A and B are shown apart, each in its own frame.
Chain A
Amino acid sequence: MTALSDTLARVRAEGRPALVGYLPTGFPDKQTAIDAMVAMVEGGVDIVEVGLPYSDPVMDGPTIQKAADAALRAGFRVADVFDTVEAVAATGAPTLVMTYWNPVERMGVDGFAARLAAAGGAGLITPDLIPDEASEWIESSTTHGLDRVFLVAPSSTDERIAMTAQASSGFLYATSVMGVTGSRTATSSAAPTLVGRVKQVSDIPVGVGLGVSNGDQAAEVGAFADAVIVGSALVARLLEAGSDTTAGIASVRALAEDLRAGVERARTAPDQTSADKGALA
């Protein structure tokens, strides 16, 4: 069992979905990003996704693009990711890196995997790498004991869902909508269907991402997902705070608390919500 699988199993035993929080490395600066990720864990995030800022983030909406742009302009280097992972993993929360593929390939897939493992990282989420193209990563991740989180989407065929679930470890990332990252006012109706399709062919835990921005949405999504993934809403807290990094970190922590409360009440009937929340907190 990897640290990621352990955490997912423990959370499942608690009768709730896991909360996964995303923030990019190096935004607004390296140390603030680390502090914000730690605050996110203290606020109740179970698993951390450390974003790797990239020049051409085709799967990201305006919020994450803006933060990644700012990090790159501020001098972000790929090596910063490993320091960040090390600092965040020290909290005990499994720490994954979410990255577009070219920076990994540029460093060398095995070299990247070795450094990530040495930093205590749990694995990679790869939004533009499909298992069909991933033979090198599958080999290196196995060698270094890292998890591979691939993605499925509402457009995925049943055959591709089965193949992708088979190639993944830790959890499978289900993108709840056909679209890019970003907060949305309503959670997706396609997501429960997609999770159901995965469940028919695999028992791998399913994390649902894209569009979750508050505790109520986390509760809604958590009712059918094994993990609730939140990115843009957290990044937005840092963007809104601007140069007031203390306020930004506090705001991230507050949102993490709200989201955690959301996943805590996700699996309970409405009339038991408050009692159960008390028992679990």
Chain B
Amino acid sequence: MFSSAASADQQRTTLPDEHGHFGRFGGRFMPEALIAPLDELERAWREAKQDPTFVNELDRMFREYANLPSPLYEASRLSERVGARVLLKREDLNHTGAHKIRNVLGQALLTRRMGKRRVIAETGAGQHGVASATACAYLDLECVVYMGEVDTERQALNVARMKMLGATVIPVTTGSRTLKDAINEALRDWVSTVDDTHYLLGTAAGAHPFPEIVRDLTRGIGDEARAQVHELTGALPDAAAACVGGGSNAIGLFTAFLEDADVRLYGFEAGGDGFDTGRHAATITAGDVGVLHGTRSYLLQDEDGQTIESHSISAGLDYPGVGPEHAYLAETGRVSYEPVTDDEAMAAFDLLCKTEGIIPAIESAHAVAGALRIVPTLTAELGRTPTILVNLSGRGDKDAHTAATYFGLLSEEDA
């Protein structure tokens, strides 16, 4: 829930610093025109999260509308199979099928609080677009979603979903016509409409204060799970794992555990076809430090600093940048970031389907795959069966076609 996050946040000093930096990462690399609006957003957010009226209202929305807190589920058959006690944080059971509902409800409520009536959002495969359209329908806000033209063609069903929910979808025809260009176009819209429009950024990246806002809104994942694991097992988990694209579900999981030195934290990036192919989205493990979309972090770039397109079977991880707090947590060594290839993720996807009757989002399958990989090391280190908390960030309905194609389950005319 949100209230636990709001109170936890007051008890300790957290990054970012007053300039929006996480160590040498983060900050604001933005046109000056957007700096005052970003300052206003920062003020509005910090006031809102201290205001009991806002906190209670968001908690009510989380509870009544989004089906939160999400349950913790002991995956017994999977555990037996892999030799670890695997606990799944079931964000896949949330309304709209992923952790993203936390972020969009929070930012949509903030939009209303700021007296704005219009929301713009970017989307890759359409998940954040659908979530934003949902929150805007629920809170009576106008919603405009920018989506790369390549993605609107690949994800026609999600375009239809957004339209059903009353949103306007604008195909982006510039640049590579994918997620990063959708973000560019949303920023171009925002710079001329900022008086009445909120940019509902979908991940814990972008210019300050976005990484902070998105983390605050998603950290309920870890706060809830920490208490749930403790109640179930009488202890904290030995490790917690999440997939990392931009990094919103991962930062949401990790934040609660950052000061628990005995809890190992793992972020699994999209290794795509593998490093040697150059076709991946493993920003931290294979990228370099640079500036993209308003923040300094790791990114995939060529030797001239031009952004390189990322590749992953999972649309939600297919982004050439990553949130700045993850860059910081990687540099300080608090979190280990490792790549998981498409094939590894799909093997874990299959295993979870067959052992637990849960079809995960392919994004979340990366977290499951990574968690299984660390079992032997962890077991050796601890000298006992480890307990691993995995954030099952979303459900796989949206990926049915991709997965069916991958596993060769479609007849030729269906595929």
Q: Which residues of A contact B (CB under 8 A)?
A: 54-59, 61-62, 65, 69, 72, 77-78, 101-107, 127-130, 132-133, 150-157, 160, 164, 175, 177-180
Contacts and interface: CB of A to CB of B under 8 A. Distances in A.
Q: Which of B33, B180, B188 has the most CB of A within 10 A?
A: B33
B304 A78 contact: yes
Q: Which of A58, A104, A177 has the most CB of B within 10 A?
A: A58
B19 interface: yes
Contacts of B37: 155
B29 A178 contact: no
A105 B290 contact: yes
A106 B296 CA distance: 12
B191 interface: yes
A107 B31 CA distance: 21
B31 A128 contact: yes
A58 B32 CA distance: 12
B292 A153 contact: no
B328 to A, nearest CB: 16
B191 A130 contact: no
A180 B303 contact: no
A107 B303 CA distance: 8
B341 interface: no
Contacts of B303: 106
A69 B191 contact: no
B179 to A, nearest CB: 11
Interface of B: 19, 27-37, 39, 174-175, 180-181, 184, 187-188, 191-192, 194-195, 288, 290-294, 301, 303-307
A168 to B, nearest CB: 11
Contact of B28 (A105, A130, A153): A130
A271 B176 CA distance: 52
A178 B174 CA distance: 21
A175 B32 CA distance: 9
Taking chain A's interface residues, is the majority helix, strand, or loop, or is none over half, making it mixed? loop
Given A59-B31, A102-B290, A130-B30, A179 B192 contact: yes
Nearest to A155: B36
A129 B180 CA distance: 19
A103 B306 CA distance: 7
Contact of A160 (B30, B32, B187): B32
Contact of A129 (B29, B195, B301): B29
A62 B173 CA distance: 10
Nearest to A134: B29
Nearest to B321: A56
Nearest to A80: B304
Q: Which of A57, A72, A153 has the most CB of B within 10 A?
A: A153
Contact of A106 (B19, B34, B191, B305): B305
Contacts of B33: 151, 153-156, 175, 178-179
Contacts of A59: 31, 188, 191
B19 to A, nearest CB: 7
27 contacts: A55-B306, A55-B307, A56-B184, A56-B292, A56-B307, A59-B31, A59-B188, A69-B175, A72-B306, A102-B290, A104-B305, A106-B290, A107-B304, A128-B30, A130-B29, A130-B32, A130-B35, A150-B32, A151-B31, A152-B32, A156-B36, A157-B39, A160-B35, A175-B33, A178-B33, A178-B192, A179-B33
